[in-house]
Amino acid sequence: MSARLRGRRCLVTGATGGQGAAVSRRFASEGARVAVTDLSQQDVDALVLELQALGGEAVGLRADCRDEEEVAAVVELATSAFGGLDVLYNNAGVLLPDQDGPVETLERSVWDEVLAVNTTSVFLFCKHAVKHLLASAPGSVILNVGSVASYAGDAEYHAYAASKSALIGYTASLAQRYGPAGLRANLICPGFVETAMVSQWIDDVHASAPILNATALRRIGQPEEIAAYAAFLASAEASFVTGSVVTVHGGLVK
């Protein structure tokens, strides 16, 4: 594994989930110092040990990404442990398939919950991290995680689509505002990726067939394939990439 991220100080949210863990491992394998956060302290502690075993420096703290005080504590831990921050990877997210739905059936409380986790948490992490990222600019970067639903929408899950499409405008705004200082911001939009979030479709061939048929490569993606792209975007190799909506979706056309 190359060492493109040697010494880079990274913070990954939703870090113990499928993609978050793959990204954290990839960052650590490429030499980064990685701070991780997610809902369970036990899972966070296990991931920190795993990252340290890869030879990297790692710290972690449980937080609910909807809670501003807890978010602030995570940013404080990361920046005090590493002396600053170069990469913020906003990956925490929820899809609530049994509750999300089209407008005629969608409850306000579900809409609020999905936007709180998928959208407001991104604002909260950016709010508390931006001064540290600016201090390490040029070269620092915010990577937000959207979805194909960010730009294509979703016939079924309206709250999810709205929460993820908001990140297009928000990420572009970050890029416009902080680009002159050398801080980059991009939105990664994964396709259908094999994680717990979509396990109910993976387990049901009838449910997954339409998605796979709409995917040029005719297969589900692996978290490591998102992580490979994330590592590029987090590195100096992507020094001219900002304000971009990048897809890693195997050719999924909805």
- Does 24 contact ligand NAD by CB under 6 A? no
Looking up tokens 């396990």 gives 199
Catalytic site includes residue 160:
yes
The mark string for 2-21 relative to ligand NAD (x by CB under 6 A, - otherwise) is ------------x-xxxxx-
Residue among 43 and 57 whose Cβ is closer to ligand NAD: 43
The Cα-based distances of 226 to 96, 131, 211, 243 in angstroms read 22, 27, 18, 18
> Which of 160, 170, 178, 229 is flagged as catalytic?
160
Contact between 167 and 143 under an 8 Å Cβ cutoff? The reply is no
DSSP secondary structure code for residue 221 in this structure: B
122 binds ligand NAD (CB under 6 A): no
Q: Which residues are CB-neighbours of 212 under 8 A, at least 6 positions away?
A: 192, 218, 219, 220
3-class secondary structure per residue, 111-173: HHHHHHHHHHHHHHHHHHHHHHHHHCCCCCEEEEECCHHHHHCCCCCHHHHHHHHHHHHHHHH
64 lines the binding site for ligand NAD (CB under 6 A): yes
Q: Is 197 one of the binding residues for ligand NAD (CB under 6 A)?
A: yes
Stretch that binds ligand NAD, among 25-33, 91-99, 166-174, 239-247 (CB under 6 A): 91-99
Asked if 66 touches ligand NAD (CB under 6 A), the answer is yes
Partnered with residue 35 across adjacent β-strands are 11, 59
Residue 196 near ligand NAD by CB under 6 A = yes
Q: Which is nearer to ligand NAD, 195 or 235 (CB)?
A: 195
- 64 versus 68: smaller Cβ distance to ligand NAD: 64
- Told to check if 50 binds ligand NAD by CB under 6 A, we report no
Q: Is 205 in the site for ligand NAD (CB under 6 A)?
A: no
Neighbours of 17 (CB within 10 A): 21
Can you tell me the distance from the alpha carbon of 102 to that of 87, in angstroms, rounded to the nearest whole number? 35
Distance CA 109, CA 74 (A): 27
Q: Does 119 bind ligand NAD (CB under 6 A)?
A: no
User: Does 165 sit near ligand NAD (CB under 6 A)?
Assistant: no
Residue 202 Cβ vs ligand NAD, minimum distance, rounded to whole Å = 9
Give the catalytic positions in this structure: 160
Chain residues in the site for ligand NAD (CB under 6 A): 14, 16-20, 38-39, 64-66, 91-95, 117, 145, 147, 190, 192-193, 195-198
